[in-house]
Amino acid sequence: MDLSFSPEEEAFRREVQAFIAEAKPKLPQDPGGEGHVASKEDYLAWHKLLYKRGWVAPLWPKEYGGTGWNVTQRYIFNEEVANADMPTTLPFGLNMVAPVIFTFGNEEQKKKYLPRILSGEDWWCQGYSEPGAGSDLASLRTRAVREGDHYIVNGQKTWTTLAQFADWIFCLVRTNPDVKQQEGISFLLIDMKTPGITVKPIIVLDGAHEVNEVFFDNVKVPVENRIGEENKGWTYAKFLLVNERSGIAGVARSKKQVERLKEIARAETLDGKPLIQSDDFVRKVADLEVDLAALEFTELRTLAAESKGQMAGPESSILKIRGTEIQQRLTELTLEAVGYYGMPNEHGFGANEYVGPDYALGAAGRYFNMRKTSIYGGSNEIQRNIIAKAVLGL
C-alpha cells in the first residue's frame, strides 16, 4: 500500500492546518475539571466553525451539504484534527441519524431535518438501549401503538448520552409484538419537547453527568416522523450501527494519545530512572503501537473500499473491537504511568483540589470512562459473533 501523499494532498493538509490554527483560539478553553460537563454551546463551538467553512459533514453526499472529499482527504483531516487536540463533533446527528435520513428518509424528511443537523440548530441523541435490551437490542420493549396519524409511545431508554441537551431523539420502538423480534421494530424521530418525555441523569464513576435515562409516558409522535416502513426499523438500525462502529475505532486520536503517553513516561521515574527506560513498560507501549499500526491499515483498506462504493460490513466490527481495546489499553497504561497521582485528581471520588503534575489530571476519570467503549455500539462479544457468521460462516 502506497502511503505517500501527492503535492495536492500535502497542499490540502496545509489548508487544514491553517484553518485549525485560526479556529483554535475561538474555541472555549477547558471550562472545568474532572466531573464537569461542558455547556451545549461549548460542544457546538467547533461544529459551528466547521459548518461555516463547509467542512462539518465529510461523510455526507455533497448534494446535502457534504464536503465532497475523497478518502485521503478525510484521512488527512482526521489526522490533523487529532494532532491539534481539537474537539470531536458529536456523532448522533451528523454521523448516525443523518445517514439514515438521507438514505432511507423521504424528501420531506430530508428537507426538514438535514439542514438543521448540518447547522447545529438541532441536537440529537440516540434512543436504542433499554434496561434489559443493550447488546440484545432486538428484545427492546418501548412500545409504539398507532392511533390514526400518530403513534403513542410508552417505555424507557437508558445510557442516553447528553440527552439533557437534546432537541430530538431517534428511537427504536416496538410496533408489532406478535412477530419475530427483529421484524416488529420501527424507527421514529421524536421531538424532545413533546409532553410525556422525562430525562433523568445517571452520574457516572468520574462524577460527570454525561448519560441519562429517558422515559416516555403516552408520548404522541406523528406517523410522518417514522423513517421508512413500519416494522422495518431493524434494517435502518443495522445500517446506523455499521456507521457508528466504524467511527468508534478512533485511530488518529489513539496515535496522539500514544505520543502523550510517551511524554508522561519520560517525566515519570521508576527506581530513579525515567519510566520510558523500563524494559517492561516500553514493551507494553511497543505492543500497543504494533496493534495500532495494524488497525490503521485495516481502517485505510475499509475507507478505500468505501470510496469504490462498497458498504462496510464485518470490517466495521473488526475496527470497533480493536479500536476500543486499544483505547482501553491506552488509558490503562496512562494510569499505570502516573501511578498514585491518578487517584487524587478525581472530583468524583471526593477530591477538593488537584495533587501532582498536570499530566496526571483526569487519568483515572478517563480510565473509568473508557470501560464503556467495548460495550456501546454493540458489545465486542456481539461483534465477534458477527465476524464469525459473516467471515467464517459459523
| DSSP annotation of 206 | T
> Residue 183 catalytic?
no
Let me know: does 171 contact 215? Beta carbons within 8 Å.
Answer: no
Using CA atoms, how far residue 284 sits from 261, 275, 281, 297, 350, in Å, is: 11, 12, 5, 20, 32
Angle at 160 between CA 193 and CA 157, to 5 degrees: 80
The phi and psi torsions of 153 (rounded to 5 degrees) equal -105, 130
**CB-based contacts of 21, cutoff 8 Å, min separation 6:** none
The CA radius of gyration of the chain, in Å to the nearest whole number, is 22
Q: Which residue out of 130, 210, 244, 346 is catalytically annotated?
A: 244
Q: Is 185 exposed, middle or buried (0-12, 13-18, 19+ CB in 10 A)?
A: buried
Using CA atoms, how far residue 120 sits from 178, 188, 226, 339, 371, in Å, is: 39, 20, 22, 40, 29
Q: SS3 of 16, please?
A: helix
Please list the residues that pair with 197 across neighbouring strands. Answer: 216
Let me know: does 213 contact 157? Beta carbons within 8 Å.
Answer: yes
The identity of residue 364, as a single letter, is A
Task: Quickly tell me which residue has 467547533 as its cell.
Answer: 46
Let me know: does 250 contact 201? Beta carbons within 8 Å.
Answer: no
Cα-Cα-Cα-Cα dihedral sign, residues 360, 364, 369, 375: positive
The identity of residue 202, as a single letter, is I
**CB-based contacts of 266, cutoff 8 Å, min separation 6:** 274, 275, 276
H or E segment and range at residue 245: helix 233-248
Query: Known catalytic residues?
Result: 244
